[in-house]
C-alpha cells in the first residue's frame, strides 16, 4: 500500500461521532454491526501525522488509531466519552514507529492509551487471529511498534495506559513519563466525575500471542484513585491454559521509576509467565498509598530484578520469592541486579 505523507487534523472544533447509537447496537443488537464499529480517526500507512487542537467526542470504538504509520504527533487535544462506553479507548498506537503523545486531556470508556502490534497465535480462535508461523510478516517485523513517548498528558475517567494485549509483532522502546492518571472529582456516584479505574500501567498479553515487550520505562507519573498501580498480566483472557508450541511473550528490561500512586485499591501485581519468566525488571523510588486491607505486592516468575527505595516495604521479598520452580531458555532464577 502506498504511504500517504503529511496528514493533519487540527483546529479548535469538535468532532462528535454519535457513539451512543453504536454502543447500544453493540450491547443489544450485534447483528446490525456486520462490519463492526468504526474508529473515530484512523490513519493507515501514513507518514508525518499530526492531530492537535480538536475535541473528539463519543467514538463508536477506539478514538484515535494510527496503524503502520511513522512520525506521529498527537498533542494538545481532548477526548471525551462516558465511563464504561464499550471499548472506547483514547489513543491506540498500532504497529507504528516514532510516535509522540503529549499534552492531551483524555476521559474515556476504556484504556486511555492502548499500545498494539498485531495479533496472532494458532489462528483457530477469535483470541488468536491469524497463525503466527504461517504469516511471516510477524517474524519480519512488519507489525512491530517502536519508539513511543507518552508524556505530560492528563488522563481522567478511564483505565490507564495499557501495552497489549495485541502484541504479536513486538513492542520496544516505550517511554511513559510525567503524566497524571486518574485525575477527577472524587467519587463514583456520578460517572461523569468518576476517577480512573483499572490499573494505571497494565502490560497484558495472552499465553498464545508471542511477541515481546522490551525497553519499557514508566517514570515520574502521578496516579490518583485507580484500582491498581501496576499489573503485568500474561494470561489475559486465556485462563492459565498451557500454551501451544508458539512462544510466550517475552518481557524484558521494564523500568518503573519515581512514580507516586495515591488511593490505590491494589498496589502491584507482577504476574509473569512460568513459560517465559520476566527478566531485568527494575522498580525504584516509587511511593504507593493503597488500601490498608489490600495485599500490597504479588510477584511471580521473575528471574532478574533490581528493587530499591520503594514504599511501602516488601517488594524485595516478593521479588526474591517469585523465582520460578522451572527455568526456561537458560535463564537463571532469582538474580538481583546491581
Q: Which residues are catalytic, by number?
A: 110
Would you report the helix, strand and coil content of the chain in percent, each value rounded to 5? 5, 45, 50
CA 20 to chain centre: 25
Class of residue 17 by CB neighbours under 10 A (exposed 0-12, middle 13-18, buried 19+): buried
Tell which residue, 327, 302, 326, has the closest CA to residue 316.
302
> Does residue 226 contact residue 181 with C-beta atoms inside 8 Å?
yes
**Rounded Cα distance, 253 and 237, in Å:** 24
- Number of Cβ atoms within 10 Å of the Cβ of 136: 9
User: 73 has which bridge partners?
Assistant: 50, 100
**Rounded Cα distance, 192 and 187, in Å:** 10
Class of residue 75 by CB neighbours under 10 A (exposed 0-12, middle 13-18, buried 19+): middle
Instruction: Say which residue the cell 498496589 belongs to.
Output: 267
Asked if omega into 207 is within 30° of 0 (cis), the reply is no
Amino acid at each position: 500500500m502506498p504511504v500517504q505523507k503529511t496528514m493533519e487534523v487540527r483546529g479548535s472544533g469538535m468532532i462528535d461521532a454519535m457513539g451512543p447509537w453504536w454502543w447500544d447496537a453493540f450491547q443489544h443488537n450485534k447483528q446490525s454491526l456486520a462490519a463492526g464499529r468504526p474508529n473515530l480517526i484512523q490513519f493507515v500507512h501514513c507518514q508525518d501525522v499530526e492531530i492537535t487542537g480538536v475535541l473528539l467526542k463519543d467514538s463508536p470504538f477506539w478514538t484515535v488509531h494510527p496503524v503502520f504509520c511513522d512520525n506521529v504527533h498527537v498533542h494538545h487535544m481532548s477526548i471525551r466519552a462516558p465511563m464504561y462506553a464499550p471499548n472506547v479507548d483514547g489513543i491506540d498506537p498500532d504497529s507504528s514507529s516514532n510516535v509522540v503523545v503529549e499534552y492531551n486531556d483524555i476521559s474515556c470508556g476504556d484504556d486511555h492509551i492502548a499500545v498494539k502490534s498485531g495479533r496472532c497465535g494458532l489462528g483457530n480462535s477469535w483470541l488468536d487471529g491469524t497463525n503466527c508461523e504461517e504469516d511471516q510478516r510477524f517474524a519480519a517485523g512488519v507489525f512491530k511498534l517502536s519508539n513511543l513517548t507518552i508524556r505530560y498528558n492528563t488522563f481522567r475517567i478511564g483505565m490507564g495506559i495499557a501495552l497489549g494485549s495485541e502484541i504479536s509483532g513486538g513492542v520496544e522502546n516505550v517511554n511513559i513519563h510525567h503524566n497524571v492518571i486518574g485525575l477527577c472529582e472524587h467519587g463514583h456516584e456520578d460517572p461523569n466525575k468518576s476517577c480512573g479505574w483499572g490499573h494505571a500501567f497494565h502490560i497484558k498479553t495472552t499465553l498464545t500471542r508471542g511477541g515481546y515487550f522490551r525497553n519499557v520505562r514508566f517514570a515520574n507519573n502521578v496516579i490518583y484513585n485507580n484500582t491498581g498501580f501496576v499489573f503485568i498480566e500474561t494470561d489475559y483472557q486465556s485462563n492459565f491454559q498451557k500454551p501451544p508450541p508458539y512462544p510466550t511473550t517475552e518481557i524484558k528490561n521494564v523500568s518503573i521509576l519515581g512514580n507516586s500512586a495515591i488511593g490505590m485499591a491494589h498496589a502491584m501485581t507482577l504476574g509473569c509467565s512460568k513459560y517465559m519468566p520476566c527478566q531485568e525488571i527494575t522498580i525504584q523510588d516509587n511511593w504507593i498509598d493503597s488500601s490498608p486491607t489490600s495485599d500490597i505486592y504479588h510477584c511471580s516468575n521473575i528471574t532478574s530484578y533490581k528493587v530499591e527505595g520503594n514504599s511501602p516495604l516488601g517488594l524485595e521479598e516478593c521479588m526474591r520469592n517469585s523465582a520460578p520452580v522451572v527455568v526456561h531458555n537458560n535463564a537463571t532464577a532469582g538474580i538481583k541486579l546491581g
